[in-house]
């Protein structure tokens, strides 16, 4: 018996479950240059959901999409269920944008030469921890 060919799979999106769709989408738009592609109102196993699909490019092809998701009938989730990570070429600007958009600095950027990065942590408007990394020059 010949084994079935494995389907090709690519990591394509992360869904952040939040209490306030617009406030959280506004934060990620202001800090990380996302833009709203689409809003969806649907149901999963009969339970209503709402989501905003955020992208950075012209379309969803070839990029990791960020989806802001809300269960209208459930309480807002904890702030630490997912830790999104972003790589940037200018960590200081990202941190300034985060503060201006209502986030806060959790740990200021610091060089970690053994790992070849400068890394810091911010919290979004829901208090969700976000790791931000800038590669150090070789």
Domains of the chain: 11-73 (3.10.180.10), 80-138 (3.10.180.10)
* Over residues 121-125, mean pLDDT: 93
What does the pLDDT read at residue 79?
66
* Whether the Cβ atoms of residue 127 and residue 82 lie closer than 8 Å to each other: no
What does the pLDDT read at residue 58?
73
pLDDT tens-digit series, residues 92-120: 999 999 999 999 999 999 999 999 999 99
pLDDT above 70: residue 7: no
* Whether the Cβ atoms of residue 47 and residue 58 lie closer than 8 Å to each other: no
Phi/psi at 96 (nearest 5 deg)? -65, -45
Q: Find all residues with CB under 8 Å of 32, minimum gap 6, and list them.
A: 56, 66, 86, 94
Centre a 10 Å sphere on the Cβ of residue 102 and count the other Cβ atoms it contains.
15
Whose tokens are 């200018």? That residue is: 90
What does the pLDDT read at residue 43?
87
% pLDDT > 70, the chain = 90
What does the pLDDT read at residue 62?
66
**Under DSSP, is residue 16 helix (H, G, I), strand (E, B) or coil?**
strand
pTM: 0.81
- Strands 65-70 and 13-17 turn out to be parallel
* Whether the Cβ atoms of residue 67 and residue 51 lie closer than 8 Å to each other: yes
pLDDT tens-digit series, residues 26-45: 999 999 999 999 999 998 88
pLDDT tens-digit series, residues 45-95: 899 999 999 998 876 666 778 999 999 999 888 766 677 889 999 999 999
Tokens of 94: 């990202």
**Under DSSP, is residue 108 helix (H, G, I), strand (E, B) or coil?**
strand
């Amino acid at each position: 018996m010949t084994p079935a060919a494995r389907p090709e799979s690519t990591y394509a999106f992360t869904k952040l479950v939040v209490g306030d769709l617009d406030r959280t989408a506004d934060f990620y738009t202001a800090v990380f240059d996302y833009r709203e592609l689409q809003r969806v109102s649907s149901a999963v196993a009969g339970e209503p959901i709402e989501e905003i699909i955020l992208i950075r490019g012209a379309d969803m092809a070839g990029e990791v999409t960020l989806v802001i998701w809300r269960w209208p009938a459930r309480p807002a989730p904890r702030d630490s269920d997912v830790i999104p990570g972003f790589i940037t070429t200018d960590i200081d600007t990202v941190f300034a944008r985060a503060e201006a958009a209502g986030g806060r600095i959790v740990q200021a950027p610091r060089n970690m030469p053994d790992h070849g990065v400068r890394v810091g942590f911010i919290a979004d408007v829901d208090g969700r921890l976000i790791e931000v990394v800038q590669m150090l020059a070789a």
